[in-house]
Amino acid sequence: MQVLGLGYGWWDEGPFLRVRNLHDHVVRELPLDSELSLAVLPDRRCTGYYDGERSHPCPDGERLRTGTTCASCQQRDAFRPCMTCDGTRCPRLSASMRRYCRQDHHLYLACFGDETIKVGTASHPRRRRRVVEQGPLAAVRVARAEGPTIKQMERALSQGAFTETMRRSRKTALLQGTMSVGDAEQRVREAAATLPELLPPQFHDALYPPVLVPQPALAVRSRELSVQPLQLDDDVVLRGEVVGAIGHVVFVRDEDGVFAVDLGDLKARVLELNPRGGKKPVVQLGLF
């Protein structure tokens, strides 16, 4: 069966791959907790758009050379305005997106294994899963308020010592760094202690004592693995036992060892589930 990769996420203890069937456009979430068996085909297609309630396929069936969505679907997407909003002047939103925006959100601080502290936001229902999907070495939640207020706090902090973004490639490179979990926890707690002096007084009521975000057992075990990443060329077949996962990376074991698969690279790619044949991935040496 051929499907289109839409993205990835985490349930309580394990990751899943979100896909859309090409024949009937049904969206599914495939658990990645035991086996991985799929082929990455040469076809790259627009992933469609989100209307505030559900995901829709691209009406034009656009094929892409790069990126994950076509220009038309970017304009249709109800969530896109929120990605660039800083919380001070909210754009015009649909009723469902307005409810999402105005619900309580949390501010978190994350350390991925270097000196950088990332500041981010998560809606209240996804306050743990959103952080787990980022794959930090340690993270704490530090504030709760309506979405626009949390956005303003994020923007204020990102203008100084913290960053709003951390590239997947950098996260991957840090997965087997030398920093311990204890050191990462200390860094995010120390960063949290500086927030009252970094934020304007109107945001202080939203702050609360730092709450450590627990890491899934699967992610904790994964940091002890010795792994190599893969080059996802066209027609590559990924087949093996899932032995670990951290954020956007799933670790797969086959007869040649344990390899790291970046789930983000599967977005907008046409995939063949449970293929019969195909070529084995090329190993990129020296990154781990």
pLDDT digits (tens, 9 = 90+) for 123-161: 999 999 999 999 999 999 999 999 999 999 999 999 988
Tell me what pLDDT residue 288 has: 42
pLDDT at 137: 96
Residue numbers of the chain with a pLDDT score lower than 70 = 229-231, 277-288
Q: What is the model's pLDDT at position 286?
A: 37
> Domain limits of the chain?
2-68+221-283, 83-214
Q: What's the farthest any 2 CA atoms get from each other in the chain?
A: 61
The pLDDT of residue 230 is 67
pLDDT on residue 225: 84
257: number of Cβ within 10 Å: 13
What is the per-residue pLDDT for 152? Answer: 95
Query: Which residues are paired to 4 by β-bridges?
Result: 20, 270
Interval 222-247: pLDDT, tens: 888 877 766 677 778 888 999 999 99
Distance CA 271, CA 28 (A): 13
194: tokens are 């500086």
Token readout for 155 is 């923007």
Q: What 3 state SS string does the chain have?
A: CEEEEEEEEECCCCEEEEEEECCCCCEEEEECCCEEEEEEEEEEECCCEECCCCEECCCCCCECCCCCCCHHHHHHCCCHHHHHCCCCCCCCCCHHHHHHHHCEEEEEEEECCCCCEEEEEEEHHHCCHHHHHHCCCEEEEEEEEEHHHHHHHHHHHHCCCCECCCCHHHHHHHCCCCCCHHHHHHHHHHHHHCHHHHCCHHHHHHEEEEEECCCCHHHHHHCCCCCEEEECCCCEEEEEEEEEEECCEEEEEECCEEEEEEHHHHCCEEEEECCCCCECCEECCCCC
Average pLDDT over the chain, rounded to an integer: 90
What residues contact residue 197 under an 8 Å CB cut-off, 6+ apart? none
With the C-alpha atoms ordered 239, 66, 116, 284, is the resulting torsion angle positive or negative? positive
Q: Would you state the pLDDT for residue 279?
A: 59
Indicate yes or no: pTM above 0.95: no
